Amino acid sequence: MSTTYRRGRTPSLDLVAGNGLIDRRALLGKGIAVAGAMGAAGTVTGAAAEPLKDEQWSLEFGSIMPPVQTASKYEKDVVRSLSNPQGEFRNSHARTPHHLLNGTVTPNGLHFSINHCGVPDIDPAKHKLVIHGMVRQPLEFTLEQLSRYPLVTRMAFVECAGNSAPMFSNQPLQVTAQALHGLVSNAEWTGVRLSTLLDEAGIDPRAKWLIAEGADAQFLDRSIPVKKAYDDALVAIYQNGEHLMPGNGYPMRLLVPGYQGNMNVKFLRRLKAIDQPAYTYFETKNYSQILPGGKTWRFHFLMEVKSFITHPSFGHHLKEPGYYTISGVAYSGAGRIAKVLVSADGGKSWGEAALQAPVLDKAFTRFQMPWRWDGQPAILQSRAWDEAGNVQPLRAEFVAARGETKQPLASPLLFPNQHYNSITSWAVDSKGEIKHVYA
Amino acid sequence: MSTTYRRGRTPSLDLVAGNGLIDRRALLGKGIAVAGAMGAAGTVTGAAAEPLKDEQWSLEFGSIMPPVQTASKYEKDVVRSLSNPQGEFRNSHARTPHHLLNGTVTPNGLHFSINHCGVPDIDPAKHKLVIHGMVRQPLEFTLEQLSRYPLVTRMAFVECAGNSAPMFSNQPLQVTAQALHGLVSNAEWTGVRLSTLLDEAGIDPRAKWLIAEGADAQFLDRSIPVKKAYDDALVAIYQNGEHLMPGNGYPMRLLVPGYQGNMNVKFLRRLKAIDQPAYTYFETKNYSQILPGGKTWRFHFLMEVKSFITHPSFGHHLKEPGYYTISGVAYSGAGRIAKVLVSADGGKSWGEAALQAPVLDKAFTRFQMPWRWDGQPAILQSRAWDEAGNVQPLRAEFVAARGETKQPLASPLLFPNQHYNSITSWAVDSKGEIKHVYA
């Protein structure tokens, strides 16, 4: 943001990796534009530029502003995809359309949601959170009471452990980033530190776990380490400034940044302090990672470092050779993103992407890589590192360790596996069409 | 966020200013809770805590998840207030309900909006931005073309120059923070650096101004200094991750962070490079600051440092003496917020509030002050400083310099003045009722 007027740098379009990847420093200063790298704009003859053509919307009084505004009718495709649109008696998933979004915030209307028994219609005047078990004084909290406490505001991603499950297929499915990775979103959450509430209740030093239970009809419950509760857990009551969405836990949810999505228990009604984990259905039957050989991990809380390219990606079309910005999101349950590399040649060579500041703990970081597409086939990939030194595994490494699913099942929902965090590859052909490939 | 389990500090409830303001360091560690400062929670007897009462929503299958989710029906009051709900042939204002929000992001549905001719219904496939005038090569850009450029993502507030105009009344109006200050909002904007586009068009070094014109029926236009265009201006195409709201400039708007709201020209269709300002209607007739004596400022771009308390504020009610968190937003068009002081005794004494990180340039910063209300009358105020050394003026200073309006007009919309950035005072009486006062 610090380009100084009239003091542009010498154009710098050094290539940093194969197939047209440009040094990210070209994103600063006048490099890209002055060197004519863009070519995306239309040129106008001097005469044609004035007067401008007045479209109908410039000639008539527009519509009335509504109390709550919604997206333009031209954005009707920017919606969550639904796995259970008729509300049948089973799980339902609503996936975030990452290939149609940008920046880092997921707007509330489009935040992903999974519900096991539909979305409960909770009256905040009646709903209570009880903290009990191994505490000196059991306490209960309404939304109004929590609102009086000191609040913490932070960006955090929430990701279902089953996000990206379609990537376990041994054949790449021809679907969008929404279908592959739509069970992760990123929002600004505001809530009370869980440590404040546990301190007030006087948690017993021998209590090592909390059973967190939701008020939905399945009483979804998970065991949460007390250590995590004191590290950075919140009882969140606001999402991007307004009270939580009904599908995201209204009126209150647990937020355990970086941990499996369903540990962020929605509609939170109970935290019971105990001295051992509860081994609930949702941590033994469901959400247990199956490993090759049939064993499972007992607990696997942390969502690993991951990235995927959203632009361009499946569903997009490159109209012509020329300049494009390769862009996507990276995040890690272990902390901040340290580095993202991008390849345009299927991993033969890599260049370092620019990270949009501020790079925040356990939150989306948008990365960008300038790219000149020469009209020849290319394979686009991203690979992320976090500040704890974790690296997003290559696909061959990942499949060797974690297995893959033999049948390319029709519905991505039927894949059994969890915690996919390997690389996504988009192949651009000479016509600008984009396919999902394994490379 | 760094409280370490089992290593709580000694409770620290030192008062830092009159009428119960507690040292902000009590927000860290175990101070507040362990010392029993809260008292907001309900206590539960051990037997009553289990089993919990199952409300109806825990006993039935919930509702179907929609493609775009919306707020709970219990949040029906969390809407923008409208000055022109019937769409009469005049200006219309939609104000953000700050007294019902928290955190820093304004959700898109609730972002403030002012339109002079209603909300245009713009087809992004037909809308074009033209850059012309003193440039080497006039260029035009569709939304799709802009999307190929390197994008910058940043938080920024946008504030109408007429925000807080009701504060010019010589009698304090008994209305909410929404009615007083609802013409400012804060969002994550993503767009192309304007400098990139001007460089590509080859702007003439003698061009010092840009006329920015919108495609709404009033062709709202403003003169923008080229220096600002190169400092940090964007052509924004995303708002909190999704394309702009129709009322906030869809499909593209100018973003000049920290400058008067309407300079952030919405529905942007033209940037003409010229060597002098245009002196348009919107910068000479409208949006000219009238000073005591009848003179006006020719240009007054920057929105000054400001803060106001959102919790508690008019429309809220304190049910009982005890612990509360005083919270609000601070921002400055000149940069980052450096400090916010809070008073509970009408300005006799002040304590320093905690600022929520990250503190970002020209964006909302949420501040918090722990407070023990003793049930006696109190007057709550906040006062902000920015990193450039500017300070929010006291009301007496401000009125002396800028004047006030003699008649307490019925509608806040009729007040003529601009750029109010002085202090807002909320008086709490012994029943916990809150009034707007001048103190």
pLDDT per residue as tens digits for the range A171-214: 999 999 999 999 999 999 999 999 999 999 999 999 999 999 99
Length of chain B as a residue count: 439
CB-CB under 8 Å, B356 with A153: yes
User: What pLDDT is attached to residue A25?
Assistant: 85
Domain boundaries, chain A: 129-278
Encoding tokens for residue B86? Answer: 């019937």
pLDDT per position as a tens digit, B403-439: 888 755 544 444 457 899 999 999 999 999 999 999 9
Q: Do A150 and B325 touch (CB under 8 A)?
A: yes
Judged by CB atoms closer than 8 Å, whether chains meet at B145 and A41 is answered as yes
Tally of CB atoms within 10 A around B365: 28
In the predicted structure, residue B34 carries a pLDDT above the cut 50? no
* Contacts of residue B45, Cβ cutoff 8 Å, sequence gap at least 6: A138
Q: What is the pLDDT of residues B134-158, one digit of tens each?
A: 999 999 999 999 999 999 999 999 9
Helix/strand/coil for B33: helix
DSSP character at residue B410: S
Closest C-alpha to B312, from A196, A146, A147: A147
Q: Find the CB nearest B215 among A55, A68, A108.
A: A55
Question: Which of A68, A130, A147 to mutate to test binding with chain B, by most B CBs within 10 Å of its CB?
Answer: A68
Residues in A touching B128 (Cβ below 8 Å): 42, 52
**Closest residue of B to A111, CA-based?**
B69
**CATH code for the part of the protein at B306-437:** 2.60.40.650
Torsion angle, CA of B22/B28/B33/B35, rounded to 10 degrees?
A: -60
Q: How far apart are CA B118 and CA B433, in angstroms?
A: 37
Please judge whether A246 and B69 are an interchain contact, meaning their C-beta atoms are less than 8 angstroms apart: yes
B27: pLDDT confidence band, cut at 50, 70 and 90? confident
| Tens-binned pLDDT, residue by residue, of chain A (439 aa) | 333 323 334 445 688 898 899 988 888 765 565 445 566 677 776 544 455 788 999 999 999 999 999 999 999 999 999 999 999 999 999 999 999 999 999 999 999 999 999 999 999 999 999 999 999 999 999 999 999 999 999 999 999 999 999 999 999 999 999 999 999 999 999 999 999 999 999 999 999 999 999 999 988 899 999 999 999 999 999 999 999 999 999 999 999 999 999 999 999 999 999 999 988 887 877 666 767 777 777 788 999 999 999 999 999 999 999 999 999 999 999 999 999 999 999 999 999 999 999 999 999 999 999 999 999 999 999 999 999 999 999 999 999 988 888 755 544 444 457 899 999 999 999 999 999 999 9
In this complex, the residue of B40, B64, B188 whose CB is nearest that of residue A145 is B40
Give the nearest chain B residue to A230 (CA atoms): B5
A170 to chain B nearest CA, in Å? Answer: 30
CA distance B192 to chain A (A): 11
SS3 A95: strand
Distance CA B251, CA B266 (A): 8
Tokens of B234: 């964007």
Picking from A55, A66, A148, the nearest residue to B324 by CB comes out as A148
The radius of gyration of chain B from alpha carbons, rounded to an integer in Å, stands at: 24
Which of the four CATH numbers 3.40.50.300, 3.90.420.10, 3.50.50.60, 3.40.640.10 does domain B129-171+183-284 have? 3.90.420.10
Comparing alpha-carbon positions, the chain B residue that sits nearest to A328 is B151
Place of tokens 């064993």: A295
Is A327 in Cβ contact with B62 (below 8 Å)?
no
B61/A117 Cβ within 8 A: yes
Mean pLDDT, range B377-394, rounded to an integer = 98
Subunit contact B118:A147, Cβ cutoff 8 A: no
pLDDT digits (tens, 9 = 90+) for B196-226: 999 999 999 999 999 999 999 988 899 999 9
The answer to which of B32-36, B155-159, B241-245 has the lowest mean pLDDT is B32-36
pLDDT band at B37 (very low <50, low <70, confident <90, very high): low
Chain B partners of A108 at a C-beta cutoff of 8 Å?
69, 71, 107-109
The answer to whether A72 touches B246, Cβ cutoff 8 Å, is: yes
**Could you tell me which CATH class the domain A129-278 is placed in?**
alpha beta
Q: What are the chain A neighbours of B251 within 8 Å (beta carbons)? A: 72, 74
Q: What is the pLDDT of residue A353?
A: 97
Place of tokens 């339902």: A92
Nearest neighbour of A69 by CB, restricted to B100, B141, B245: B245
DSSP conformation class of B184: E
ipTM, 2 dp: 0.94
Least confident interval from A155-169, B63-77, B285-299: B285-299
Residue B370 has pLDDT above 60, yes or no: yes
DSSP for B81-147?
EES-TT--SS-EEEE--GGG--SSPPPGGG--EEESS-B----TTT--EEEEESBSS-EEE-HHHHT
Q: Which two tokens stand for residue A152?
A: 């913490």
Contacts of A66 in chain B (CB under 8 A): 94
Which residues from B are below 8 Å from A119, CB to CB?
62-65
Residue B196 to residue A33, Cβ atoms within 8 A: yes
**Contact between B109 and A70 using a beta-carbon 8 Å cutoff:** yes
Closest CB from A8, A68, A111 relative to B80:
A68
Tell me the helix, strand and coil percentages in chain A, rounded to 5: 15, 35, 50
Give the whole-angstrom CA distance, residue A284 versus residue A278: 10
Q: Say yes or no for a CB contact (<8 Å) between A41 and B140.
A: yes
Tokens of B344: 């509970």
Could you give the CA distance from residue B274 to residue B253 in angstroms, rounded to a whole number? 20
Q: Which residues in A lie closer than 8 A to residue B38 (C-beta atoms)? A: 148-149, 200
**Rounded Cα–Cα distance for residues A71 and A77 (Å):** 10
